[in-house]
Structure 1
Amino acid sequence: MVEQPPSGYYDYYPTIELERPVVLGGIPSSPYREVGHSLGALAGLPLIDLDHWIEHQAGMSLREALQQKGEPVLRQVATELITKAMVSRPCSLLILGAAAPLVDTVLEQVQKSAALVWLHGPPTAMYWALRQEQQEKGPQPFPFVPFPLERFEQLNPLLQTLRLYQQRADLCLEVFEVQETVNQLFAALANLGGAVVDELRDV
């Protein structure tokens, strides 16, 4: 006879309970998606990837959507989806991803109803990372990044938008090692509107 596990042994529950969404973004060269997915797994939080939502709605990759529909249309879609995400899943982790520059118009809304975490880094490092990625893979799905990228000054429009995120973020981190950043964010969730679930449970 196979021994049955104790009741509730396999019950799944998050280790952190959020009072408001946590919105995670970063400069194009930062590992925002890897950090976001690792943080979601560690904390047991529902995860929304805005890039994936946009691709699902458009029925194509983000790069194809940018090429075929243009930035104005994609900006409207991104704005509608981030608004929907924050209303329909108010206690989730939301990754802005490559679409972050498209939703600068809703920064005020994010500030009012969510905690904004921004992963930043040296602009020159971002420039060289984007150039190398273009050389290896061709055009990439980053708004305001021209192809071919040949001069640092070509990134000025993008940098202006990204500075808004950095200035208004509740928490800014420079990523040196992914797991270290995940641990830092996990420890900071309580200050961003979260509470450890075990502290909320009746003993």
Structure 2
Amino acid sequence: MPDSRSSPVSVALVGMPGSGKSALGRRLAQRLDWPFVDLDQAIEDRVGCSIRELFERKGEPFFRDLEQRVIAEFSQGPVASVIATGGGAVLRTENRETLRSGPCVIYLWSTPEALYRRLRHDVKRPLLQVADPLARLRDLYEQRDPLYREVAGSVVDTGRASVNALTRTLHGLLVEQGIVPPDGAGAAAQPPQL
């Protein structure tokens, strides 16, 4: 019987806006010498405008449809990569199923208050362009935290540690799970033989 992990295992980072998915994803991909995919950037490249403009022009449902297609495409790619998902990627059942069945998923957790401190001057995130962004973050957290936990195999607190320390933590998790070898090389570990 073939091992279900005989193909390369990618790493998908999920979490709230501002939790560090892009910054940590980029750094982890460099450390592993793997490709890095920011799904929001991939969507922007395809449509030729920012996510904010896409929301304004076509609405959130259109964006979520496109996001679903991009998640499916990159989660099951032929090459192991580090994938930074959008904050709302877990809202659709189909996306959660894709994430659970494909990549190694890590939830980058932060409190709404910590996220607000990071994002209070950010004007690029359409869901936070409201009168009370902290209240909006608290609402989003309440809705999404259980969904992130549903798809993730591991949870990492990104509240206070540096990007370097968090990158080491993420790498350590991948070593523990047998996805990368302990020597730090990025080649995927061989799956165990049954």
TM-score bracket relative to the smaller structure: 0.7 to 0.9
Q: CA separation in 2, counterparts of 1:89 and 1:47? A: 14
Query: How many pairs does the alignment contain?
Result: 175
Which structure 2 residues correspond to residues 16-35 of structure 1 after superposition, within 5 A? 19-35=8-24
Could you tell me which runs of 5 or more consecutive residues in structure 2 were left unpaired when the two chains were aligned: 1-6, 182-186
Match of 2:31 in 1: 42
Q: CA separation in 2, counterparts of 1:193 and 1:60? A: 39
- Verify: 1:179 aligned to 2:164, yes or no: yes
Aligned-pair identity in percent equals: 24
Q: CA separation in 1, counterparts of 2:28 and 2:48? A: 28
Q: CA separation in 1, counterparts of 2:20 and 2:12? A: 15
Corresponding residue to 1:121 among 84, 104, 110: 110
Q: For the structure 1 residues 189 and 157, does the alpha-carbon distance in structure 2 shift closer, same or farther, using more than 3 Å as the test? A: same
Pairwise CA RMSD of aligned residues?
Answer: 2.5
Larger relative helix fraction: 1
Q: CA separation in 1, counterparts of 2:64 and 2:169? A: 31
Match of 1:93 in 2: 82
- Verify: 1:133 aligned to 2:121, yes or no: yes
- Verify: 1:112 aligned to 2:101, yes or no: yes
Match of 1:148 in 2: 130
TM-score, with structure 2 as normaliser = 0.78
Which structure 2 residues correspond to residues 2-81 of structure 1 after superposition, within 5 A? 19-81=8-70
Amino acid at match of 1:140: K
Amino acid at match of 1:133: H
Q: CA separation in 1, counterparts of 2:188 and 2:133? A: 52
Could you tell me which runs of 5 or more consecutive residues in structure 1 were left unpaired when the two chains were aligned: 1-17
TM-score, with structure 1 as normaliser = 0.75
